Chains A and B, each alone.
Chain A
């Protein structure tokens, strides 16, 4: 079964850091682009970042560029999101998702991990 499981969320003070992880199973992890998408409380889905299969191509939304770093460890089948200089507006549930080229869309999502930035 194709599965994504996020972890690492929690409460952090403004200006703090947090690293999210997304453990993948049931598919050849290194063959897929992987993305992070977030949802602030009461708001819609917003794309955050993406990385290609070998980690050589990376993009970010303007709102997180320079503060967040996406990476992956294909040996551990794990996707990461290092979040620094966190702000209140980064409070959200963070989802990792697999981009499936045949569909040109996101076919598998994790359940999400909640990040709360507050003093």
Chain B
């Protein structure tokens, strides 16, 4: 089974950009087109921020953007704001013998200094 690896923590000052990476071990490059990113404030429901690698759902700030290169997907937040402080998870899929298995990265804690 593949693993999605994220840095445990990142930090940045208000107004600065930060990038969170998500590196997969799957040999199926096609799954990386389906990478999603979720923002999770403790005690609240996770929120979808990016889907299909780079697309934003309606209502999500355009300060959030996604990209991918090879087996690494990235979430970039430009112009950091205090409310961006949260945990961020990438998510993708891997085909096992019978179905598409859902994978989450280990999560990255974003601290706004």
Question: A residues bordering B, Cβ < 8 Å?
Answer: 4, 35, 37, 44-47, 50, 59, 61, 95, 97, 103-107, 109-112
- In-complex Cβ contact of B57 among A4, A59, A103 (8 A): A103
Task: Tell me which of A44, A61, A103, A105 contacts B106 (CB under 8 A).
Answer: A44
Q: Which of B47, B48, B89, B102 contacts A44 (CB 8 A)?
A: B89
Q: Which of A35, A50, A95, A106 contacts B36 (CB 8 A)?
A: A106
The smallest C-beta distance from B28 to any residue of chain A, in angstroms, reads 15
Q: How far is the CA of A1 from the CA of B45 in the complex (A)?
A: 15
Q: Report the separation of the CA atoms of residues A37 and B38 in the bound assembly, to the nearest whole angstrom.
A: 13
**Which residues from B are CB-within-8-Å of A37?**
102, 104
Nearest-neighbor residue (CB-CB) of B44 within chain A: A111
Q: Are A103 and B52 in contact (CB under 8 A)?
A: yes
Compute how far the CA of A47 lies from the CA of B90 in the bound complex, rounded to whole angstroms.
12
Main secondary structure on chain A at its contact with chain B? strand
The 4 closest A-B pairs by CB, nearest first: A47-B102, A105-B36, A44-B107, A109-B45
Residues of A within 8 A of B104 (CB): 37, 44-47
| Cβ contact within 8 Å between A50 and B46 | no
22 pairs of residues in contact across A and B, judged by CB atoms under 8 Å: A37-B104, A44-B87, A44-B104, A45-B89, A45-B91, A45-B107, A47-B103, A59-B98, A59-B99, A95-B46, A103-B36, A103-B51, A103-B52, A104-B36, A105-B52, A106-B36, A106-B46, A106-B48, A107-B48, A107-B51, A109-B47, A111-B45
The answer to whether B44 touches A104 (Cβ under 8 A) is no
Complex contacts, A50 vs chain B, CB 8 Å: 102
Contact with A along B51-86 (1 / 0, CB 8 A): 110010100000000000000000000000000000
B102 touches A35 (CB 8 A): yes
Query: Bound complex: CA of A111 vs CA of B44, how far in Å?
Result: 5
Q: Give A6's nearest chain B residue, CB to CB.
A: B45
* CB pair B38 A45 closer than 8 Å: yes
Interchain nearest-CB distance for A73 vs B (Å): 22
In angstroms, Cα B102 to Cα A107, docked, is 15
